[in-house]
Amino acid sequence: MTEPIRVLVADDQPLLRGSFRLLVDSAPGLAAVGEAGTGAEAVESTRRLRPDVVLMDIRMPDTDGIEATRRIAGSPETAGTRILILTTFDLDEYVYGALRAGAAGFLLKDTSPDVLLAGIRTVAAGDSLLAPSVTRRLIAEFARLPGTRQAPGPSLEDLTPRECEVLELVARGLSNVEIAEYLHLSHGTVKTHIGRLLHKLRARDRAQLVISAYESGLVSAAPPARP
């Protein structure tokens, strides 16, 4: 029998926290293993319970969701836990920082139950939750704001010209199938290039590849024409 996906719910509002927990427990193949009311509690509970996914609120007292995400994603103990950000606004400036800190994606708190449950399963499987075009819109919005970059952008010196092409198309919102068609490559070859990009740029997933493309200057925040 397949083990259920283990979920930790972190939110400072007890009513929302309880609602999310009930929703998770009612879904086949999912199990809520704990709750946290602050970012610090989320970090401690993740270390203790080792959930597969943390539903992480951004704005919490004590330690916010960004710092909690950074601590969880940056620790060898808990790096395998995937973090799904929950926020009230789709262009919340804090979401950029959370994605950069290692979150796998984000959802709005008013999303439908089916979408939330599907999102948990998506990130648990190792994928980014967001369509690249949605991530691109978020990054483009906040890449222009002062103070959003916490460190120099990644260097692309180790990438081949073809890998740079693939990275640019990822950041422009194309799927693997679309990249394969555009560059006249097989789907398997594109997947190989994506894997190498993840390794070379030390990115956890596709969302962080998009961030790397913007922070390195490979693509600009201006909306590009779709190939």
**CATH code: domain of residue 208:** 1.10.10.10
Query: Mean per-residue pLDDT for 98-114?
Result: 85
Which domain does 64 fall in, by range? 5-129
Whether the CB-CB separation of 215 and 171 falls below 8 Å is answered with no
pLDDT tens digits for 165-193? Answer: 999 998 877 878 889 999 999 999 999 99
Helices 187-200 and 161-171: crossing angle in degrees, nearest 10, is 90
- Two structure tokens written together for 140: 């483009």
Residue 118 maps to a domain: yes
Domain boundary among 113, 129, 145: 129
Scan for tokens 């190498």, then name that residue. 196
3-state secondary structure at position 163:
helix
Domain boundary among 129, 151, 176: 129
**Are residue 121 and residue 172 in the same domain, yes or no?**
no
Over 50: is that where the pLDDT of 225 sits?
Answer: no
**Are residue 15 and residue 91 in the same domain, yes or no?**
yes
**CATH code: domain of residue 113:** 3.40.50.2300
Query: What does the pLDDT read at residue 222?
Result: 46
Over 60: is that where the pLDDT of 122 sits?
Answer: yes
The answer to pTM > 0.75 is no
- Two structure tokens written together for 39: 């970012």
pLDDT tens digits for 23-43? Answer: 999 999 999 999 999 999 999
User: pLDDT over 90 for what percent of the chain?
Assistant: 47
Over 80: is that where the pLDDT of 95 sits?
Answer: no
- The total number of structural domains in the chain stands at 2
**Are residue 14 and residue 119 in the same domain, yes or no?**
yes
Question: What is the average pLDDT value for the chain, to the nearest integer?
Answer: 84
